[in-house]
Structure 1
Amino acid sequence: MNKKQELAANLPWDNPRFRTWIAVARAEKAIVRALGKGLEPLGLKIAQLDMLMNLYRHPGQSQHDLARRLLVGRSNITMLLPQLEAQGLVRRENDASDKRILRLHLTPEGEARLMEALEVYTRLIDRVMAQSTPEACEAMGEQMRRISEVLAED
């Protein structure tokens, strides 16, 4: 076997793990595309939705805490926050004990927009996950969590 044939024999096309990996990557892209399209009429992007969901679940957190929860740099939060403030969805308040820290809160409009966005998100999840049994969904979720944990170690 020459060098070219040897290299071709080691390509991953027929490896089931490779095919599954590609399927996961394509599914993620399709989900992002569908969710982004669904959020457009609400004037939201996915990263903004992530921020709103986290502020709803953990009101009063700092920008640093929010960035840590979302696994992004503080600069990402710094760029998105003014957009959400300009839409009247988020407000910043000084921390009572440390004036250097700003606490983030949803406004009533922010909470209302989040609820609309969650309807869009839930419909998408229901549509996609209806193809699987609850057990298969749980198994898929567990596998995705394990993948996230493995890659988080990097």
Structure 2
Amino acid sequence: MSVDGAQLWTLNQRLLAVVLDACTGELAELGLETKELFVLAEVEASPYPAEIATALLLPKASVTVYVRNLVAKGFIRREIDEADLRRHRLVLTAQGTEARDRSLAALAAEYDRRLARVTPRTAPSCGASFRRCSRPHESMVTSLPGEPLLVSAVTA
């Protein structure tokens, strides 16, 4: 079976768009726009705006706007970083944690509804394939927990 990478990319983008569109109402009820949710969901892993921009592949200026909006909505707050007093780190508020969790639950429920169309036999391999494909290119290890270790060669 031949795999058309462009077609898979297109189908993935379509799935993302459909899921996000289905969740727009719930996000609006929580006071979030789609990209604000992604920024909010990244704050704990990447507490600095520049790190968020890198992790989400967003322009720094856009992240600044989303952060400003999220601060104004009371979802995150800025704190001075004790390790470097020149920097501000972002911290989720209780309201932000609740909004993030409810939003991610809505996204997960919609994905689950769509994944129900995949047979139980093929669902695990589908998930494993997505995890492999979403790793950075520099990653040498290509196996997942419970699988044989596969190391790929780096080509220059």
Q: TM (normalized to structure 2)?
A: 0.71
Q: How does 1:58-137 map to 2 (within 5 A)?
A: 58=45, 61-137=47-123
CA RMSD of aligned residues (A): 2.8
* Structure-2 change in CA distance of 1:109 and 1:46 (3 Å): same
Moved over 2 A (4+): 15-29, 35-38, 133-152
Give the Å deviation of 1:144: 3.6
More contact order relative to length (CA 8 Å, sep ≥ 6): 1
Work out the CA distance in 1 between the residues paired with 2:49 and 2:58: 11
Q: Secondary structure at the match of 2:91?
A: strand
Which stretch shifts more, 15-24 or 98-107? Answer: 15-24
- The match for 1:49 among 12, 16, 37 is 37
When residues 148 and 119 of structure 1 are mapped into structure 2, their CA distance, relative to the original with a 3 A threshold, is: closer
What runs of 5+ residues in structure 1 fail to find an aligned partner? 1-14
Aligned length: 137
Q: List gaps (5 residues or longer) in structure 2.
A: 139-156
More helix by share: 1
**Once the two structures are superposed, what CA deviation does each residue of 1:75-120 show, in whole Å capped at 9, x if it has no partner?**
1210101110111110001111322211000111111222221231
Structure-2 separation of matches of 1:118 and 1:67: 19
Amino acid at match of 1:37: G
Between the aligned partners of 2:101 and 2:135, the Cα distance in structure 1 is: 30
Asked if structure 1 preserves the Cα contact closer than 8 Å seen for 2:19 and 2:107, the reply is: no
The answer to whether the Cα contact below 8 Å between 2:36 and 2:70 also exists between their aligned partners in 1 is yes
1:149–1:110 Cα change, 3 Å = closer
- Structure 1 vs Structure 2: percent identity of aligned residues? 27
